[in-house]
Amino acid sequence: MSIPSPARPAGKRPAAILVGFMGAGKTTVGRILADRLDVDFIDTDVEIVRRTGRSIPDIFTEDGPDRFRLIERNVVADVLATHAGVVALGGGAVTTPAVREALAGHRVVHLRIGPEAGYARVSGTDRPLLASEDPAARYRELLAERADVYGSVATIEIDAHGDPEVVTDALVDALAKELIPERTR
Ligand code: S3P
C-alpha cells in the first residue's frame, strides 16, 4: 500500500506522522503501521538519543527542557524533510511552535488517549516530565494542558485505547478513506 502525503509534491515525505501524549502508543502503533505499509519507521526520541549520544532524561536534567526542545525541533525538521516512512514524534514536540508549523501540509495522526489508560502504560518508566511526587497527577495535568494542541495539528484522530494491532487497523482504514478524495481529483 503506497500513501502519498496530502498537498505536498512527490518526494521524501513521511507517509504518516504520529502525535499524541506519552503512553498513547505512538512507537508501538508506528512500528506496526510501518510494517504493514512496508516502509521504515523513525521515532524522533530514538533519533535524538542516536544523534546526541545521550539519554533523554540526561538531556533534561543536565541541559534543561528548553535545550531538549531545541534539539527535538531540529531533529523533527530533518526527519520530516528526509524520511518517507512512518514517523512518531515525542509527546511534547507539538508544544514547540516551529514544530507545529513544520507539520502543516503533512498527514498527521493524533493517537488520543485518556489519563487512566495512558498513565498505566507509562507508570514506572523514566519520563523526565513525570519525575514528581505524584506522577499520576502530573500526567493528568500535562495531558489537560496539551489536550487541544494535538487536535490542532492532526488531520486524522484515532482512539488509541485498544490493542495496538486493533488501533492500527482503525488507522489504516482512516488513511485509506483520507486518500479517496486524492484519487478522484
Ligand atoms: C515528552 C515525551 C517523551 C519524550 C520526553 C518529553 C513530553 O516522548 O520526548 O520525555 O514532553 O511529553 P514519548 O511521548 O514518546 O513518551
What angle do helix axes 65-82 and 44-52 make, rounded to 10 degrees?
Answer: 110
CA of 136 to the centre of ligand 1 (A): 15
- What is the secondary structure of 31-64 as a DSSP string? HHHHHHHT--EEEHHHHHHHHHSS-HHHIIIII-
Which cell goes with 134?
Answer: 505524584
Q: Which CATH class is domain 16-173?
A: alpha beta
pLDDT in tens, 62-91: 999 999 999 999 999 999 999 999 999 999
Sign of CA dihedral 79, 80, 81, 82: positive
Classify burial at 176, counting beta carbons within 10 Å of its beta carbon; exposed 0-12, middle 13-18, buried 19 or more.
exposed
Most confident among 117-121, 175-179, 181-185 (mean pLDDT): 117-121
Phi, psi for residue 19 in degrees, rounded to 5: -125, 165
Flag whether pLDDT at 9 surpasses 50.
no
Mean pLDDT, to the nearest integer, of 83-103? 97
Tell me, using a 6 A CB cutoff, whether residue 91 lines ligand 1: yes
List the residue whose alpha carbon is closest to atom 8 of ligand 1: 90
